[in-house]
Structure 1
Amino acid sequence: MEQVEVRPMQLSDLDAIMEIEHLSFSIPWSRASFEQELSENRCARYLVVAAGGKPVGYAGMWLVLDEGHITNVAIHPDFRGRGLGETLMRALIQLAADTSLTWMTLEVRRSNAIAQSLYRKLGFIDVGYRKRYYADNKEDALIMALENLPEGNPDNDPFLIRED
């Protein structure tokens, strides 16, 4: 497999992100939603995993007090099963720690056993359900949380604006 890197999402990534979004979700986010997240939402952090320089996956979270709420995670279908989701999630967890967050939450479809398995492998635990959460088929969402984040280092936060 070609060289893989994880980096902050940029507006120039959105063509690739929208392709992944439409291939991954029955109710995809709009391009305008991603543009707003990247340009206007100061509490949003999005990462991409790129192979050969092209984004093949992404994950995002909102910073809410001391919590990182994961908004979405997706890997292009052609790149699934290669460990890129785990690579991306580990980077997002480390970013949360570097941002001085103390815990993370997410919702995942009850039917998405593959994603749940990954999240559990990373230390997430089941904490509840949201009944009929998903608009397309009224499926329940499993709420998962991670409380033991790794040691953080704010100097590693790629989103931090530094004054020289």
Structure 2
Amino acid sequence: MPQENEIIIRPMEEKDIPQVESIERASFPSPWTSRLFYLEIKKKNFAYYHILEFKGKVVGYIGYWKVHDEAHIVTFAVHPLYRRKGFGKALLNYVLEEAKKRGIKRATLEVRETNYAAQKLYEKVGFKKVAIRPGYYHDTGENAVIYWKNF
């Protein structure tokens, strides 16, 4: 488990995108491109992206869209070498607290049905499984599990 003084969580900047894209490619079968991340971080009025640095290296990131009083988590990943060490939980909790400060009342996300580690993390921080979206992931046809968390 990382010590609080060893990690920095801050808004994603353009300079972070190469490291974020590297984590993205290591994490997802159909990764976002650097251009997509660049466009997303420019949407200041409703899109919020953060990175987690550990010892000066970007090891995780998360992004959500504010839609009315909801935070829709659109992307979230931790570098494979840093998973199951508390980094994802720290980043997720930080962003959920930040969302609450923005007046957000609930959070939602979709996760691959076979991503059991992520589902365990979401449930650990209070998300509830509410539905299945059949065939949601176009690359594999896999179902998505929809999670919600009320604040």
Short-chain TM bin: over 0.9
- Determine if the alignment matches structure 1 residue 61 to structure 2 residue 64: yes
Measured in 2, the distance between the counterparts of 1:80 and 1:40 equals: 28
Deviation at 1:41, TM superposition (A): 5.1
* Local SS of the residue matching 1:32: helix
Which contiguous aligned blocks of 4+ residues in structure 1 show a shift greater than 4 angstroms? none
Does residue 1:131 correspond to 2:109, yes or no?
Answer: no
**1:6-53 Cα distance to aligned partner (Å, 9 max, x none):** 111111101100100100000000111101111135210011110112
Provide structure 1 residue ranges, at least 5 long, that are not aligned to the other structure. Answer: 150-164
Note the residue ranges of structure 2 that are not aligned, 5 or more in a row. none
Q: Which moved more, 1:56-65 or 1:2-11?
A: 2-11
Aligned length: 148
Q: Does 2:114 align with 1:85?
A: no
Aligned counterpart, 1:162: none
**CA 1:106–1:122: 2 relative to 1, 3 Å:** same
Q: C-alpha deviations, 1:43-98, integer Å up to 9, x for none? A: 10011110112211001100000000000110011111210000000011101101
Query: What do the CA deviations read for 1:86-143 (whole angstroms, capped 9, x no partner)?
Result: 0000011101101110000000011111111110111100111111001111000000
* Alignment partner of 1:143 out of 119, 122, 146: 146
- Structure with max Cα Rg: 1
SS in 1 for 2:126: coil
What's the Cα RMSD here?
1.2
TM-score by length of 2: 0.94
Corresponding residue for 1:110?
A: 113
Work out the CA distance in 2 between the residues paired with 1:39 and 1:109: 27
Which TM-score applies when normalising by structure 1? 0.87
Paired-residue identity, %:
37
Alignment counterpart, residue 76 of structure 1, candidates 62, 75, 79: 79
